[in-house]
Structure 1
Amino acid sequence: MKRTKCLIAFLLILAVIMPVFASGNSEKATEKQVLKVAGLKGAYGDEYWKQIETAFETAYPNVDVQLTIEAQVEKTITPQIQAGAGPDVLYLATGRKEQLTETMISSNALVNLTNLLTKKVYNEDVTLQDRILPSIMGNGVTNPYAGDDTNYMLPLFFSSNGLFFNADFFYDNNGNGTEDAKVDGKYEMPSTWDEFLALGKILNTERTTNAATPYLFTYPTAGYLDTMVPASIAASAGEATVKQAFNYEPIWETAEVKRVFENLGAIKDYILPTTVGNANVDGFRNNQQAIIDGKALFMTNGDWVKGEMADTTPSGFNWGSAPFLAFSNGGERFGTVNTEQIYINANTKVQSLAEDFILFLYSQTGLELIAKYGNGAFVPAKTYDEVALKAGMNAGAVAGYKGYYDGTAKVLIGSFAAANAEGVNWKQTYCETMDSVMNGSKTVNDWIQKLKTDSAKLKATL
């Protein structure tokens, strides 16, 4: 009897504790894998990250994505990284004041992503290297170690440095991306220098009967020509000539290079009259505002102008941008771009999952979410222009990037070699002389001769 009571008591204890063990095992079986993602909350906001988080967790039910998307994200994650932990995936561009990405590069704290490029993006039969625009790869940003062909960072977003304008002057914005020439007071978008200057003549003629007609061109300061001049030389004389120019070779009097400066000089007849007077640290915003107010059609600038002028940009204004001009129909057009990178922390314990997340970002699913919720962000991924239009992005803005997506516009990479010579201010010579040409105090030939003289002095120091 005593043994029976003991057996009953033992069975009762088992009945009580077995569910506890079962519950513990169940919780362990369903424990989710954590993926930490950190990035900058900038002009594109953070809503697209929230949407991607939800979509990725739906596609990978056993994953818990933990986001840290902040305007000053470095303050939060730097101590974590210094402690040997931190986020697994980082979206943080080089060139920021805190230099966190540069520090991680110099510390060899990035995962090699070369093999990842050969893997297929989420739910598609296309590899990552076939999805990303090749013109944005293989440079000192994606391959940060000199002489090394391996990829450590990928370009998640890119912005164009080129011609900026009010997209509504040129495009119908009905979502199909087609240009409407001279419809409802809009103008045909020029793609060559001849078309550009011809439009200037049209505007000057119209202004004789309508004083509100915009001028063809302005610039914030002449220093902003530092991208327009090399891109125009590339379009006229070829990329090899630009490389010679970057090394101060004597190319300035060749016919193909001279016509670049002759065309820049021809803008004098079509430039907003107040441009030179405002082309300084105190007045440059007035020149940028002229585009918004419809006083000028084009300016050379970078994508940052949208944020810089946000306070004085009316609701509904649609920025457009395009590569710099070609010198013949069907000729090459060049632009320069800024990229924002994504990469994987070498301290990650979930590298495979981090790679899956990046493959998800560049998939159609990821691209659609960025296009819909990314506040005008452009991803350097094939077909993204089509995705963006379907998502309702401004057709004029998308059309401005079209050349990068269809390959008709090239990305110019490179800069002038570091050199110093007594009495030479190279930026002033090759860019800021534009002010003197526009106000008539110097000629185009004066400009070319100064380029010839100063480049020879700099070349001698290399």
Structure 2
Amino acid sequence: MGSTPDFGRRDLIKRSAALGLVAVPSISTLTACASGGDDDGNKVDKGKKSDKNPLAVNESAALDVVIFDGGFGQKYAKDAEAEYAKAYPKTDGKIKHSATQKIQTVLQPRFNGGTPPDLIDNSGAEQMDFGTLVAKNQLTDLTPLLDAPSVDDPSKKVRDTLRPGVVEMGQFDGKPVWILYYAYTVYGVWYSKTNLEKLDAEYPETWDDMLKLCEKAKKKGVAGWTYPGKFPYYMPFSLYPFIAKIGGPETLIAIDNLEPNAWKHPAVKAAFEAYYELYKKGYILKGSPGLTHIESQTAWNQGKALFIPNGSWVENEAKKTTPDNFQMAVSAPSSLDSSDEMPFGTIWASGGEPFIVPKAAKNPEGGMELLRIMLGEKSTKNFVKQVSSLTSLNGGTDGLSLPPGLASAQEALKKAGTNVVNPRLQDWYVALQKQQIGVGALGEMMAGRMTPAEAIKKIQKFADDTAKDDAVKKYKHA
């Protein structure tokens, strides 16, 4: 891992501004950001299109890459850049690689001046707001990349090698693809098989069994759950698929679409009350409301709590404190009861680590070509081995010995089949998801400072206010 631990979490999740960091620019900032425009005069000449160069990359042009300095580190990107230099030898020594945790602070002046990089891993606390970038026409349409032949099999387009839903995630209102999510994240309830075995237990497939196991653990001095109370927008990683499981996928679609009273659906109420019961019965690790993601993961690794809501980046991010015999695993949420609309195994999985090519980039073809290389099997396997995470390439793990958490994530995906949900709230409305729903309501409820009914009422108001705010670009499921 190549970053400060507190910013090592993954992307797809994009750190909040809750502690004073800038997650969403102000309106004036966004206007300034949009002023860069698309100056074709700054662009390098295109190269000659061929079977080996399907995107017509200028084979001697410089390439400027900026990667979020997070839990995945830098090596995977540098290794892909080395492959780029092999494919286009005249670019050797001309590839500029930069890493930062402060994406917006570093890159906004470059957007303002019309000199953005050619490829950006737009993640972290200071992730630039996608809705605004799209609305202000600041991004390159990645359709040429998706329609280009894959590195491994020229008979297949890149789009045909990707996992289900990845292409759609990069779209807004069904329009061109602006974002390519490189990692593929499995969200859910993470646990240690070893620690469950100590209690002679397996993962509880029903909520009643979950409560019974938490009670059993409590008698042994172990908490049932912990979570990063300073970043409570982790709770949805297991809570949102729980809501979908209870009420059906249309419940999350209505929430994403900012429909009136979407948060007042009975499935939301049932899910919130179930989680609140964990607090009421004392099944949450004391002090959790004050923990960061790293601190909560460390407590979990130390066996102080059985379960934690998280994403599949956790295996790499927490590896320094994970015991050798931990047997990390992930499961879909437990069933509430037999009336649930979706089966046990329903899980949230989606693209993570969002890459963009600015419209004003000097070498957009080079940026897309580097992504094409990254989506090849060689780069994918390199990524998997380095950081214990899947990529958006459908496959890429053949012949690899997967660590326990990643193997479990693969198994969870297989078990889910078509019962995979992908809430878009965190992509479309970053401030609503993180600062308002997460910090302003879920964190308060899980700390016992707000009842489920109060949390739902507050969240519904947040959603309604966002829906009425003309300054916020709105998106809907197709």
Alignment CA distance shift 1:316-1:109 (3 Å): farther
Q: C-alpha distance in 2, partners of 1:427/1:38?
A: 33
Alignment CA distance shift 1:224-1:112 (3 Å): closer
Q: C-alpha distance in 2, partners of 1:120/1:382?
A: 15
Q: C-alpha distance in 2, partners of 1:342/1:458?
A: 29
Asked if the contact 1:224/1:431 (under 8 Å) is kept, the reply is no
Cα distance, 1:114 vs structure 2: 1.7
Which position in structure 1 is the counterpart of 2:249? 239
Pair 1:134 & 2:164 matched: yes
Cα distance, 1:127 vs structure 2: 1.8
Asked if the contact 1:159/1:337 (under 8 Å) is kept, the reply is yes
Cα distance, 1:291 vs structure 2: 0.8
Which position in structure 2 is the counterpart of 1:121? 150
Alignment CA distance shift 1:253-1:369 (3 Å): closer
**SS at 1:50 equivalent:** helix
**SS at 2:390 equivalent:** coil
Pair 1:165 & 2:191 matched: yes
The letter of the residue matching 2:368 is: E
Which position in structure 1 is the counterpart of 2:7? none
- Gaps of at least 5 residues in structure 2 are 1-57, 469-478
The letter of the residue matching 1:154 is: L
Deviations 1:77-120 (A, max 9, x none): 777666655643x1321564374988865663432112321222
The letter of the residue matching 2:100 is: A
Asked if the contact 1:223/1:432 (under 8 Å) is kept, the reply is no
- Gaps of at least 5 residues in structure 1 are 1-30, 171-181
TM-score, length basis structure 2: 0.64
Larger deviation: 397-406 or 101-110?
A: 101-110
Q: C-alpha distance in 1, partners of 2:203/2:131?
A: 40
Match of 1:342 among 333, 341, 355: 355
Larger deviation: 37-46 or 159-168?
A: 159-168
Match of 2:382 among 356, 369, 376: 369
Alignment CA distance shift 1:199-1:103 (3 Å): closer
Alignment CA distance shift 1:215-1:458 (3 Å): closer
Pair 1:263 & 2:291 matched: no
Which position in structure 1 is the counterpart of 2:75? 47
Which position in structure 2 is the counterpart of 1:358? 371
Pair 1:143 & 2:153 matched: no
Deviations 1:188-218 (A, max 9, x none): 344x3x1x6425535655776xx46x44323
Which position in structure 1 is the counterpart of 2:181? 155
Asked if the contact 2:300/2:308 (under 8 Å) is kept, the reply is yes
Asked if the contact 1:91/1:343 (under 8 Å) is kept, the reply is yes
Asked if the contact 2:269/2:452 (under 8 Å) is kept, the reply is no
Which position in structure 1 is the counterpart of 2:46? none
**SS at 2:81 equivalent:** helix
Deviations 1:12-46 (A, max 9, x none): xxxxxxxxxxxxxxxxxxx9623414122332222
The letter of the residue matching 2:209 is: A
**Higher CA-based Rg:** 1
Cα distance, 1:273 vs structure 2: 5.8
The letter of the residue matching 1:198 is: D
Cα distance, 1:399 vs structure 2: 1.8
Asked if the contact 1:201/1:270 (under 8 Å) is kept, the reply is no
Alignment CA distance shift 1:257-1:281 (3 Å): closer
Which position in structure 2 is the counterpart of 1:218? 226
Asked if the contact 1:291/1:297 (under 8 Å) is kept, the reply is yes
Q: C-alpha distance in 1, partners of 2:263/2:115?
A: 52
Which position in structure 1 is the counterpart of 2:393? 381
Cα distance, 1:288 vs structure 2: 4.1
Q: C-alpha distance in 2, partners of 1:433/1:263?
A: 12
Alignment CA distance shift 1:112-1:257 (3 Å): closer
Match of 2:289 among 263, 280, 291: 280
Q: C-alpha distance in 1, partners of 2:95/2:463?
A: 52
State how many pairs are aligned.
Answer: 391
The letter of the residue matching 1:260 is: A
Alignment CA distance shift 1:114-1:200 (3 Å): same
Deviations 1:253-303 (A, max 9, x none): 74x45543453355468754643xx13336887654331111211022456
Which position in structure 1 is the counterpart of 2:3? none
The letter of the residue matching 2:75 is: E
Which position in structure 2 is the counterpart of 1:396? 405
Asked if the contact 1:403/1:409 (under 8 Å) is kept, the reply is no
Asked if the contact 1:159/1:338 (under 8 Å) is kept, the reply is yes
Deviations 1:123-165 (A, max 9, x none): 31322212222323324xx235xx4610122111244543233
Which position in structure 2 is the counterpart of 1:433? 445
Q: C-alpha distance in 2, partners of 1:447/1:309?
A: 31
Asked if the contact 1:326/1:333 (under 8 Å) is kept, the reply is no
Which position in structure 1 is the counterpart of 2:61? 34
Alignment CA distance shift 1:360-1:273 (3 Å): closer
Which position in structure 2 is the counterpart of 1:447? 452
**SS at 1:138 equivalent:** helix
Which position in structure 1 is the counterpart of 2:55? none
Alignment CA distance shift 1:82-1:318 (3 Å): farther
Cα distance, 1:365 vs structure 2: 2.0
Q: C-alpha distance in 1, partners of 2:262/2:367?
A: 49
